[in-house]
Structure formats: structure tokens, C-alpha cells
Amino acid sequence: MQYEYVRGLVAALFIVAQPVTAVHAETLPELDAMAEVAVDEEKGIAFAQEQSARGEFLEAIATLERVLALHPKSDSARLLHAVNLCKIDDQLGGAVEIGKLKQKNFAPELWADVLTLCPLADKE
């Protein structure tokens, strides 16, 4: 049920997940693009999602840190940041981040998904 819910969202928001900058930056202008994309909260989050989808979790975390530096109240960026920490097995770091968020601000299905990935957050 919750997977169907997520799949529906994927389809609806696929446009958000379009590549927003170079996939493999190795030049300074490409790094510029990676820096600029995080200035916009929505684009920054979408870019981090692309990185996560490619398994580039460390880089996704770095992108979300850039977003959070400029948009510290972005619950969306913080939750994704926490999820990516859990994906690299930093369960405590993910739990600490999730502890800064309010469950009531998120859909129950989504929160349940997050706790599946970050079980320690349920205990903290």
C-alpha cells in the first residue's frame, strides 16, 4: 500500500527528478553548477535525490548540507539528509537529525518509511 503511494508520487513528481546539473563533475564550472543548484531549495533537494538514486549517498549528504546551510528550516531537506545518513549506516546521526523534526508535519506513511530506514530514530 505505502509503496503504491510512493510510486504514485514518483510519477506525479518525475519532473522534479530530472537531472539539474552535470552527472559527473570534474571541472570547476561543473562544480559551480553543483553549488548553484543548492541555492534553490527545491532544485537542491531534487539534485540530492538524483545522487541518492545513483547510490552517491555521500555526495547527496553534501548537497543537502548545502541546501540546509541556506534553508535551515527546510524539513524536507533535513529528512532526506537523515535518510541518507542512515543509508551509509550512520544510524545515530540519522536519528539525531530526525529528532529535530516533528512527526506531525509528515504523512504517516512517509514517517513509517523513514523509520524503516532509520530504526534507531524510533528508539531515541
Partner 1 sequence: MISISSLPIKVALLAPALLFFAMSPAASAPVQVGIAATVVGDVRMSNATITKAVKIPRRQRLAWGDLLSTRKKSKLQILLLDRSSLTIGSNAKLTINRFVYDPGKKRSLTATVSKGAFRFMSGRKSKKSSASISSSVGTIGIRGTALDGVVGKKAVAIAKKEPFLDGVKGDKDSAMLVVLRGPGANRSGDLDVGLAEVSAAGKSVTLDQPILAAYIPRQGAQPIGPFTLSASGLSKLQDELAPKVAGAGNSGLLKALIPAAVIGVGVGLLLPGSDDDCSNSYPGGPAC
Site for partner 1 in 49-68 (CB under 8 A): 49-50, 52-55, 57-59, 61-62, 65-66, 68
Q: For the beta carbon of residue 100, count every other beta carbon within 10 angstroms.
A: 10
56: Cα within 13 Å, side-chain hemisphere: 14
Closest distance to partner 1 from the beta carbon of 11 (Å): 7
CA distance 12 to 93: 31
Q: Does 16 bind partner 1 (CB under 8 A)?
A: yes
Q: Does 113 bind partner 1 (CB under 8 A)?
A: yes
Residue 32 CA to its chain's centroid (Å):
20
Which of 47, 80, 98, 121 binds partner 1 (CB under 8 A)? It is 80
